[in-house]
Structures are given as structure tokens and as C-alpha cells.
Amino acid sequence: MSDSARYCIQSSGTAILIGNTMVNLLQFVPEYQQAIFLLAMIYLVAMILTEVSSNAATAIIMTPIALAASAKLGLDPRPFIFAICFAASASFITPIGYQTNLMVYGPGGYKFSDYIRVGLPLSITLWVMAVILIPMLWPFTPLP
């Protein structure tokens, strides 16, 4: 399933289409800020996607898109790949995004809104921290 999903996204041109669309959305952002906005956008999309699918599926779907978007801007893809890894591992907003959340959902007596109430502020905090710290550890260097 994983390899076939990645293959379909890459070979059909979907990754390039979505990656180019993400970059085109940045046309009104000053050029020197486009990389950080793209990082925030990729993290946000991966964060939303991981709430309704597994973290592995999210990473597999988002990686070709991030590669295409970073290539369009001529940037090293590593910061964007790390953003996907962090976002895909941060499933806190719903009980269906991660198996442990689902296992404690019933026995713990939690409601769906409990996950949103606690998980949304946590996810937003992690999003902001990732967008600040990832470029410090893996800078946006242009590709040779």
C-alpha cells in the first residue's frame, strides 16, 4: 500500500501539481519569506492529514509533494521533509489519527471534543515551534 500510494502520487504528476500549486500560492509573499511560508504550509497540511490517517500514510503522501515544492523554489528538501516527519508524528487533535489515542478513547471515557480541546493548542504550539526551529537546524540552502 505504501509504495503503491507513493508511486501513484509521483508517476501521475499529482505531487508536482500540488507542489507547484503550493508554491504558486506564495506569489504575494516576498521572495525572502517564501521558504518559511512553504514550510509552515507543508507542516499544516501534514498536521491536518495525520489527524485522519496514519502517520506513515501522511509521510508517504506528503513527501513527494514537499520534494516537488522545494525543487520549484530551488531549495534543499531536508527542512520540508523534517517538517513532514514532525507533523505526521503529532496526531493529537482526534482519536482516530493514532492507534493509542483510539485505544484509550473508550476505556478512558473521553469525548471527541476532549481531544480537540487539549490537542488543538498543543498542535498549534508544535507547528509554531517547528517553523521556528527547523530552519535553524536545517537551513534553507539553495540547490547547486
Alpha-carbon distances, residue 76 vs 20, 25, 83, 98 (angstroms): 16, 20, 13, 30
Q: Walk along the chain (144 residues) in steps of 10 and give the mean pLDDT of each run.
A: 71 88 93 96 97 92 95 96 97 88 88 93 98 97 83
Residue type, 104: V
Q: What pLDDT sits at residue 2?
A: 62
Quote the CA–CA distance of 6 and 116 in Å, as a whole number: 30
Helices marked H in 25-111:
34-50, 55-73, 78-88, 99-105
Quote the CA–CA distance of 65 and 69 in Å, as a whole number: 6
Q: What pLDDT sits at residue 43?
A: 98
Q: What pLDDT sits at residue 113?
A: 92
* Domain extents in the chain: 2-137
* Per-residue cell: 91: 496526531
Q: What pLDDT sits at residue 100?
A: 85
Q: What pLDDT sits at residue 4?
A: 76
Asked if 106 and 128 touch (Cβ cutoff 8 Å), the reply is no
Query: Quick one: 12 exposed, middle or buried, by C-beta within 10 A (0-12, 13-18, 19+)?
Result: exposed
- pTM assigned to the model: 0.91
Decide: helix, strand or coil at residue 115: helix
